[in-house]
Structure 1
Amino acid sequence: MSRSAHPSLPSRARRRLRRQPLPPRLTALVVLVVPMAMTLFSWQQLRHMEQQQASAAFSREASRVSAAMEERLNDYAQVLRGGSGFLHATPNPSHQAWHQFSEQLELSRKVPGMLVLGYLPRVAAADLPAFTQRMREREGVTGFSVRPPGPRDEYYPVAFMAPEAPLRSAFGFDVASEPTRREVLQAARDMGVVAMSGPIRLMADPEHASPSLLMVAPLYSTNGVPTIQEQRRQALQGYVFTLFRVDEFVDSLSLSGSAQLNIRISDDSGGSSQIKHLYGASGSGPSNPLSEERSFYFGGRSWQLHLESQDPPEQGPELPSSRILLFSGTAISMLLALLTLRLGSRRSFAEQLARRLSHEWAEANSRLTGVFAALPDLMFELDRDRCFRHYHAPNEGELFVPPHSFLGRHPRDILPASLVTQLEQCCDRIDAGVRLQIMEYQLPRHDGEIGEYEARITAIGEGGYLMVVRNVSEVRRTQQALLQANARMKSVFDSATEVSIITTDTEGLITVFNRGAEKMLGYSAAAMVGQATPAILHLPEEVEARAAELSREFGWKIQGFEVFVTRARLTGAERREWTYVRQDGSHLTVSLVVTAVYDEAHNVTGFLGVAVDITALKTAEAELRRHRDHLQELVSERSADLLVAKEAAEYANHTKSEFLANMSHELRTPMHAILSFAGLGLSRAGSIPGAEKLNHYFQRIRESGERLLALVNDLLDLSKLEAGKMSFEPRPVNLRPLIREAAGEMESLLQEKSLHLVLDERGPAEVYCDPLRFGQLIRNLLSNAIKFSPVGGVIQVGFAPTTLSSGRRSGDRGNRSAVEMTVRDEGVGIPVDERELVFDKFAQSSKTKTGAGGTGLGLAICREIALAHRGTIVARGNDGPGTCLAVTLPTPEASPSIEDRA
């Protein structure tokens, strides 16, 4: 809140309100002239300001247009450099490879405006016949020939070009045969940079009126650009070039916001006497106040850009705000004058005006009070006698003395003597001409704690003083905490005696050199901090090699300190092995991690380098590599022996599978005859009275035959699966209908033991499989669950999403989405050590060998079917009694063909 020691309205102002008003006509004239003068002055100022704003906006737009053109030319040059890199990396480039490279660049979308991207090989006169034959036969360019004909020392024909459609007839044209084009080729060759020609007319498109430009990039046979001009001439292999029309180039920039600009481009590379017009209306028209000149240099050419507004110069820019101000101000002034003239004779009008002015003054005073109330600082105003006459205290309870008791009193009556003396000295210095004084002091607060304060004192009014007081207790505590944190950080750095920790500023000057760095490198911190850069610790040839590598990678020259921190600037950190040089000249290998240090605004303020001596580690790695090589030799010898044994075992297993398949097929024929006669005997014995015993014998024969036939069928299926002769027709299948179908077939078995089958309707059940073969797997699992479940038990079938590893083939990586189907029973279960063995042929769990029967082939067939679908099957234990058999199959979108399985 704020208080003042003065009345709110001076008595002189009240007396002024009682004076006789001016005559009405004179009052009306004053009311008309004064606002009109203010309106005209404001209109002139606003119009001038709008003109300046329009000029500034036009200048920004002109700069944007110039920057866009230069950036697009740089994009073209970057494409040419990419083409040079492609040709340098491709020993024998072909026309098709060049087309594929150009299509991947997506020139029309990423760098619009380019007509073609082509290649000009350097062809000596002696090599011209062979080159022509190669272009006709190998590249398939029918009727290819170098044009124009005639003997020359060297030729630079158009060999590759993409796209071909715009300038198809340019194939074989010797670009160096024309002086303007030859000049730009020679400039690019000698300077080793991208060069651009002056305006040219395209031979393949002579009807187009707009001038075109040729941009070329030299291609050298060496790695990098030779440093000497003669070497560049010898190493030249050819050029990568592009052509573009100036009008299409400007249109491709899509200069939104530039529709109101007239752009004129000229090339003054040859001086003022040889200026060449490139784009826009030539000649000079009437001067326009909104016009800009821009120039830039690219590819050996100097471009001049003249930009001007399309508004007619004689009209000038429209300034609606100033015109509105002029019209509204004039209308208001005239209205006020009319009202003053009509009501000037009335005393009540003057009184009403006085009341309105008083009200506005009160509102202004209220707004000022509100502004002060929003300020968080204490504010005191002192008069020329240095007594308090006004204050603003947002938090009066913080002070040990109520601030309203300050008003009209001298500081010596309230404050401690030492603080009064300090305040008097500051006021004396302000009286002597010093503009601002800052004093710091401590005072007790209302809660008994000692608060730290900062007061800023300055002169105000005639001989008065304004004192702004801020509580800086929290700031001081923060500063103290920061000092303690810095001390702890320095202690941590110095404690790391086996690790070199060096920090630098953004220019590379060392700011921290810990004890570990002193111990590792032999330098003292006093000799390094503020005196040297990390370059003294590195081998010059290693730094130069890294600089060349980074320059090639990023496309700009990197040298000096930036070699160590460029990647850290871009990515935040970089780990790399370097060779450090100790003070005594000896070398050691270190693993150096360079990290960028940021401030709260995420600006880089320095760099931190942490290095660990890995010399001993590198020696150990070399020894390990030697042992590894020796071990590989031993493994290779052993692998050869194992390969022979593996091939023999596979041959034996294949022979066995073929034998079982043949024998199973031979056994099925007589078994069908036995089952047929057993069925015939059952039907005949059933019609003979007293033949119950004979009927029982035939029933036993048929049951035994059916079991034997099932065993033979299982053997036949297993042998086919193992021999890879089982055919599969996989497709997306929902497993729930297959389970319901199998359960329906086994309903009598379920009812016989009063079993309850629970099919989980939640979870995904869509997989990629052969429904016929996988139905056989489901029937085997349900049959086992029924066989081993106790009477009245529950069989549960559930589904859950999961993943399958894709590492069964060398080309597989990562995981694939899959579905896991589980079949749980409440039987005797399978011991943990037998959960893998039960999937072997003719194997049964020790807990299931009695009472349930079985051939021991069901789970082996299930495993082969699961593997054939690139899935898995495992046995697990339940939380209670029984067994859980889990089958995992890939989903349709994640499944390769079954024929591709490992």
Structure 2
Amino acid sequence: MTIQCRVWGYARLCLGLVLLFAFGVIAQTQPSPSADISSPPLELTAQEQQWLKDHPVVRFAIPSDLPALTQADASGKPQGYLIDYFNLLASRAGFRFEYHPMLFPEMIDATNNDQTDVYVASVIPLEKEHFLIADPFFSLPLVIITRVDVEGFTGHSWLAGKKVAVYKGMVPEYLAKNDPLGLEVVPFHTIPEALWAVSYGQADAMIAGQVVTSMTIAQEKITNLKIAGRTDYPNYDASVAIRKDWPVFLGIINKANATITPTQKRQMLEQWLVPQEQNTIDWIRFLKIAGSVVGVLLFLLLASIIWNHQLKRQVARRTEELRVSNEILKVSEKRFRDTFEQAAVGIAHVLPEGRIIRANQRLCELLGYPLEELINKNFRDITHPDSLADDVQMAQRMINREVEIYQKEKRYIKSDGSFFWIHLTTRLTFDDDNNPQYFISVIEDINETVLNRDRIVAAHRQLQNVLDASFLSMIIATDQQGTITIFNSGAQRILGYSPQEMIGKRTPMLFHLQSEIQERAKLHSERLNRPIKGFEVFVAQAELASYEECQWTLVHKDGHHIHANLGLTCIRDEQDKVVGILGVAQDITEQIKAQQELREKEERLRITLRSIGDAVIATDNEGVVMQMNPVAESLTGWAADDAIGQSLQNVFQIINAQTRLPVSNPVQKVLECGEVVGLANHTVLVSSYGTEYQIADSGAPIRSDTGQIVGVVLVFRDVTGEYAMEQQLRQSEKMQAIGQLAGGIAHDFNNMLGGILGSAELLSEKLLHNPEATELMKIIMQSGKRAADLTSNLLAFSRKEPSASRTMDVHRVIGDAITLLKQTIDRRIDIDFKTTDSTALINGDASQLQNAFLNLGINASHAMTKGGKLTIQTQPVTFDDHDRYIDLQEIKPGKYLKIDITDTGIGIAPQHLNRIFEPFFTTKEHGEGTGLGLAAVFSTIKQHDGIITVKSELRKGSCFSIYLPLAGQDSQLTEPHVDDSRIAGTGHIMVVDDEKVMRVTARATLEDLGYQVTLAEDGLEALELFKRNPQGYDLVVLDMMMPKLNGKDCFLAMKKLNPSIRVILSTGYTPESELLAMKAAGLTAWITKPYLSGPLSQKIQEVLSQVD
């Protein structure tokens, strides 16, 4: 073992000598890094030489934070590659640079504002119109820096969509923002800030020059970053930007720059990049020299082998230790980064001058700023002004090493300008040279805690004020054994004892009835299933939170009893253990007396209300129902027990019958005016069941003994029947007026139509052999009949029952109307007919009903100008004695067919709903509607003993509901019989008519049929002719409306002269009352104008064939 050691020692000695020798030989052959960089003077023009004399010193803005390029020495003097380079350049040109270190973004502003003359610039993004650009003096590649744990790096394309940190204002920012890969660029004011952002995961990568970043990573001792690769951008070309007004200096700089060779540039740069390798070994020369001496050292081969073996083992061990150390470092760095980013509190690194250089996500959330906006803000920007002075003073004390840690509750300012409370803990870090680096600040959100603390303080203050001011309430507190600890002034007033007599000396048992305590103790024992006695009764009531037994009888010091409401609660400590009882009581003795008196009054009032026939509701001055009698219960649909305590608006729901809109609360009207108020005439009460009642009511104030209004009483009654009768009477009067007008018009029209149709019929027979004339006469006849139908519709206003009633299937009538509608209305409107029964028999006039259905269908189509759907649906319904009214229209009990005609049109405005059936009321433009359509429908339905209602909603449509009484079970369908054949006859007929055309056509028709005819142009002439020979006439065809003597009076006079005379009343319009009176007096028959020869001859034969 000793021999091996000696051999090993000798081998090491020899090897050391050989290496020393080799290094000495190599060192002698290496060039010196400080080789001569002198050069002949520049060849300058006279203008350039004169310029240098005028400008011996040039102000130069240089970066202050680029390791190896420009940085400050221990004394603060700038040094670095750029300083050496520009000093050399200035010495060759014959002037001096005055250096002004600053951050890069500040250099452009300084030169622009004439604070400096030139600055170090990059070529690519400069605005050349503002500065003169010298030739580049060096070029460096741009690299991508990432964390060492980043995997899957594929080169420049890996940056797509990533968050990339850059040095603000430099070339990488310009290139990254214009990169088509769409990078999220985050600019930083310093390179260390950007590198730390990548280290902490606040950015995915950084783009910068290789030299500066490598040196910065080493200086900042950042161990988890690496240079992942080069970018696809061009190399970073550095140059000098010169004032625009110095073109001569540009030429001088370019000439001086051209004299410095690339080798000289490299030597100067290497001097700052790798100072530890200034005497670089030439390994090729070394191997040659080593080879020459290998023979001398052959005897050391065995020792070398042993030494190599040991060395490998040591290298392997050190390599493994280094790997483990790196893994531990990575884990530690990840934990630190996770702790920083995922901490539940805000964390920030702040430079001594106040600028935030790092912040975690939680702080961003607290302040409401995105990270890129928060970074580089000053802590003064987010600090409430009240705390700013203290913070600045404390920061200076920490810089001076007077304070190590600073903690304070203060307010921060959010991005929206609002304030919130935080707890700040700050420590200042120092570098190895004891220079301050940055503050580490931990920010905890305590806003809710501070607010709660303020609330608690305010609550305590308020409680104390309550105790001090609660003279009307008794407040007593005890400990767990019942000894009184608090006895306020209200307790002294109510019980008569002083606090000095009670506190610490007595228990509440003193002023309570023993019988009452025993009664409550028994009750609580049953509830809690444990024995309760003595003072425990108060603890039990507090535990149960029982408010049902809160009324107690207290005993005053002088012995009289007091009724009190006593509320009890447990006083608990921090462990939720009961340590006492708090009781608050109020003297309610007077209230008890008042309540008894009130109950007696209320009982008398209830008896009175039950005896009133009208509905009565009483409320308080807030509109809450306090009383109501049985009649009110019936009309509102609310039971008194359910209604009391409810708002009047819930119970007493009233609407306007015309607009269907809610009516304002009558209570409010009474309270406002203080007098009796009546509701409008159109007020409808809607019960809880949906039943509607027309009501008449009034509201009056209820006053206290002092005259103050304490409530309102409403008295109302059901006037639905009276209102319905009034409405029907009003409608009847309107229809009667329209009927009279329509009758007069129809009478004149019928007279004219009678002459037209009669003459046309006679001419038709005379022109049978003239086809062309016959065709024209048919047109005249058809037009006359259509005009006759129109006048018949006008007469519908004056009838009380159908003019031609028969038993018919109303479904067939509806179907005929639908067929006509499909040919008439807009084809974009779909018509849907739904029915449950195949037939529905009613008694009525099919023509009138068909016209009514047509009117409703046409009206619906006018409401659907862009198309829509018209639905007609029928179903049988039954009304009993309880169903007296539908929409305030009286209806008789029985079986009805309900016909719903629904459209999807624009709807009817609420204010128009109650007027749509009025004659001449229309909402259409002038010339588009007469206002008679729906009035005629209403009149037709009334003639058929039915009713019609309407419901509508704007922009959704309308629904007309028709109720027609169904025919009896024994009714049979009656088909209409039409027979226009003429019947000839004999006899003497007098025709009385004031219209000549009617007399002429009647004579021609009757004579053609074989009758002898006598004419009279008015009633007087007819009566004179009749008086001459009362027995000489077989029949009189008598007009109704004539001058001098009308048809009725003429008929009565003829009846007196010849009671057996047969008379046919020929009328264009006759009021039903007149017709009935004549029928009672013996009128044989009547025929409606205009008539044709066929119906006239048939009616004459029918009358003449009657047996007296």
Work out which structure has the larger RCO, using CA pairs closer than 8 Å and 6 or more positions apart in sequence: 1
TM-score by length of 2: 0.23
Bigger CA radius of gyration: 2
